[in-house]
Amino acid sequence: MTDATWSAVDGYWGARVLAPDPDLDAALAANAAGGLPPIDVSPLQGKLLHLLARSIGAARILEIGTLGGYSTIWLARALPPEGQLITCELDPHHAEVARANLARAGLDGVVDVRVGPALRTLQSLTGPFDLTFVDADKSSTTEYVEAAVGLTRPGGVIIVDNVVRGGGVVDPASPDAAVAGIRRFADAIAGDRRVDATVIQTVGGKSYDGFLYAVVRP
């Protein structure tokens, strides 16, 4: 089994459970035109985030790592009329592309893009959030989740992207700083009684990776 098979299956299921979506297509096109790396969640993964947010009736969502706002659009569309999403992005150019993508999708009144190092932005935020999606630089994932535990309500959900990295996570000698960051996070969450977590490995058009899904204990 290869990446080609995984992509074909993404296409097969995508054709059946995803609706045509000009705003999401336009966002990916604008990201490419703006030179942003194509490291957004996949369409099926974006819809999973959307459905998970809807499943818990999330009205306040926090995202760490905006890029061009592709995952942001999926998540923001899950919000009720009075809902709010705050997303943190270091790179001003990424944030500018994201704001345009969000405006095109009619979400500029709902989403607040905060530019700067996420650790600093997080210090300025007031919870509680119902759901937090952690998807920025992997070296600081431990600190992002630490902040997320404080900002997400009891019973709320924290989702962390890229916790598998093509299987690299099991290599203690990996030279990949992202792998080292995820391994440090894995050791931190192993003894963390404040959350109850699982990991789901994923394959597809975005290759082999995975999500950590955690519920904040009451």
Shortest Cβ distance from residue 137 to Mg ion (Å)?
A: 10
Query: Min. distance of Cβ 135 from ligand DHB in angstroms?
Result: 5
Q: Is 41 an interacting residue with respect to ligand SAH (CB under 6 A)?
A: yes
- Beta strand spans in 76-194 (E): 84-89, 111-115, 129-134, 152-161
88 binding ligand SAH? (CB under 6 A): yes
Strand order in the sheet with 111-115: 111-115, 84-89, 60-64, 129-134, 152-161, 209-216, 195-202
Q: Produce one character per residue of 141-166: b if its CB has 16 or more CB atoms within 10 Å, e if not.
A: bbbbbbbbbebbeeebbbbbbbbbbe
135 binds Mg ion (CB under 5 A): yes
Neighbouring C-alpha atoms within 13 Å toward the C-beta of 164: 16
Site stretch for Mg ion (CB under 5 A), options 90-98, 110-118, 130-138, 180-188: 130-138
Total residues in contact with ligand SAH, by rule CB under 6 A:
18
| Residue 162 binds ligand DHB (CB under 6 A) | yes
Which of 135, 144, 203, 216 lies at the binding interface for ligand DHB (CB under 6 A)? 135
The Cα 21–Cα 67 span in angstroms is: 19
CA distance 53 to 78: 6
39 binds ligand DHB (CB under 6 A): yes
Among 19, 22, 33, smallest CA distance to 97 is for: 33
- Taken as a whole, the chain contains a residue count of 218
CA 40 centroid distance within chain: 8
Q: Contacts with Mg ion in 158-187 (CB under 5 A)?
A: 161-162
Which of residues 39 and 59 has its CB atom nearest to ligand DHB in the complex? 39
As measured in angstroms, the least distance from the Cβ of 218 to ligand SAH is 28
User: Which region, judged by CB under 6 A, interacts with ligand SAH, from 14-22, 63-71, 174-182, 198-206?
Assistant: 63-71
Under DSSP, is residue 108 helix (H, G, I), strand (E, B) or coil? coil
Contact residues for Mg ion, defined by CB under 5 A: 135, 161-162
Contact residues for ligand SAH, defined by CB under 6 A: 39-41, 65-67, 70-71, 88-91, 94, 117-118, 135-137
Contact residues for ligand DHB, defined by CB under 6 A: 39, 135, 161-162
